Structure 1
Amino acid sequence: MFTGEEKAVIAVALTMEKPWDWKPGGTEEATLVAAKVKIRDLHRARHGDRCCYCRFPLHGGGHFIVDPEHVLPKSLDSYRPLAYTVWNLGIACKRCNMQYKRAKIDFVIDAVTAAAFQDSANYRLIHPNFDLYKEHISINMEMNDDATLIKYTKRPGSEKGLYTYDYFNLQEREVGTFDAAQGLDVPGDLEKGALEAQELARQFGQ
């Protein structure tokens, strides 16, 4: 993924106190920026231009809207070497990253063993790179000129879906007046949930 020059500059950056924010200037900085753009574009494609935690659309958003997300926070000494590690990165909205996730690691089961860091089972939340979001939570969004309805549907038996829904307060993300229908477990299959969401959107738009 990275060129030889990018790998070399990243190696130097990782020796700094703040490797992701290191600004050496000149060619080195330009090379580092190019590596960051590669990481960003990869995760934008991987997540369909949506926040890796709430799946809210980020398409067209610049750096004021879209945050590079370090699952294991780069601000903590233990995880600083992972600042440019692709599996530890994603893209997130400001709400999820700054209001809820921040530099916390309470969602990590084993916060010490390096071998556990690349294991989905080591994370209580839906990991951006080790889990498929739709296997844990389905999201339906309906919008028109005057109304928006967002509904998260947790898959039955998914502890990660429940944890992520609560951790990022996704109920707050849901929009609509039909409170009883929001955030419920999937009653049967996702198709039925999608049909219910479409009906709610139709009523909400009236």
Structure 2
Amino acid sequence: MEFSAADPGTVRPGGRTARVRAAVLRAAGDTLAERGFAHLDLADIARRAEVGRTTVYRRWGTVTGLVADLLADMAEQSLPRTETGSLLGDLKANARLVQRTLADPRQGALFKAVIAAATCESKTAAALHRFYDTRVKEWAPCVQQAVDRGEVPAGTDVHEVIRAVSAPLYYRLLTCGDGLDEAAADRAAEAAATAARAGVYVLG
């Protein structure tokens, strides 16, 4: 769908509150990647982040609240869309961004953990949906520009085209974990672009 997220907190402005948030979110992301959602504990996160336990409980309250903030931070810091002037070029840029994120050992493991938690925890699911919605909306204008240029039919669901780009990459991440290379990213982009041009995503 998206996106590639920078490490949480790396480009946030200064100040003690920002530094505390960055440290806590980094610790939460590391724990998710290393041990999964089930082992996420606010007291342990406070220790790893080297901040007061009371601060963490007061600000985030629950593990799900912390994960929601982590995903919000990742969405905010994800790299912006690339505009190449062609639908295929834009979709390849998007796909390669997704591929690099999911192929990264830390980021791939983090997303696996959050997706697994989202299957049985409604607040985590809602936070994950907001993350993807943010990233899809960031890239959807690339498809709208292709509509405006006449590359794809009017009435194309621009959001569905973006979702179609990353879907095969997430499938690989969750089912086999291998083959997440640039070739796979390019194939996903080419398939989505071909389908979009053929009118597969036209609404109604």
Q: TM-score, normalised by structure 2?
A: 0.29
Larger helix percent:
2
Larger strand percent:
1
Q: TM-score, normalised by structure 1?
A: 0.29
Q: Which has the higher contact order (CA 8 A, sep 6+)?
A: 2
